[in-house]
Amino acid sequence: LGVTSVVSVLFKNMGDCLIGALAWFVFGWAFAYGDSLGMDPDSPTTSTQWFIGNSGYFMQNLNPCRYPEWFYQWTFAATTATIISGAVAGRTKLTAYLAYTLWVVAFVYPTIVHWT
């Protein structure tokens, strides 16, 4: 592994942490742990957004006692992005990689968490 590759991987991991934290703060927590509208698909009041949460954006109205849980779950969301970074190391441009990180942390991971 060359020095350039090591620096690239370290920079991408920092990007995962920073972009991941911002994405988790804005969208991720709300999609994963926010209240759902119409969880029952057979309900007449079913919303088209029933598969994700839709409250708690920007940690709005989050009890301060849940801040450690927010941080703990953010680490898993960011780790999801870093795991895949090993598979694409040296194969993607930085902008594409950071866009992927935003997508995974803000939507893919929270959706799966909300379902479980």
Yes or no: say if 24 and 81 are a contact pair by the CB < 8 Å rule: no
The yes-or-no verdict on residue 107 having pLDDT over 90 is yes
pLDDT digits (tens, 9 = 90+) for 5-61: 788 888 888 999 999 999 999 999 999 998 876 555 555 555 555 678 888 899 999
pLDDT at 78: 92
In this prediction the pTM is: 0.82
Q: Is 61 left (phi over 0), alpha (psi -120 to 50) or beta?
A: left
Yes or no: say if 59 and 34 are a contact pair by the CB < 8 Å rule: no
75-84 mean pLDDT:
91
The yes-or-no verdict on residue 1 having pLDDT over 80 is no
pLDDT at 8: 81
pLDDT at 17: 93
Burial 5-39 (b: 16+ CB within 10 A, else e): eeeebeebeebbbebbbebbbebbbbbbbbebbee
pLDDT digits (tens, 9 = 90+) for 89-106: 778 888 999 999 999 999
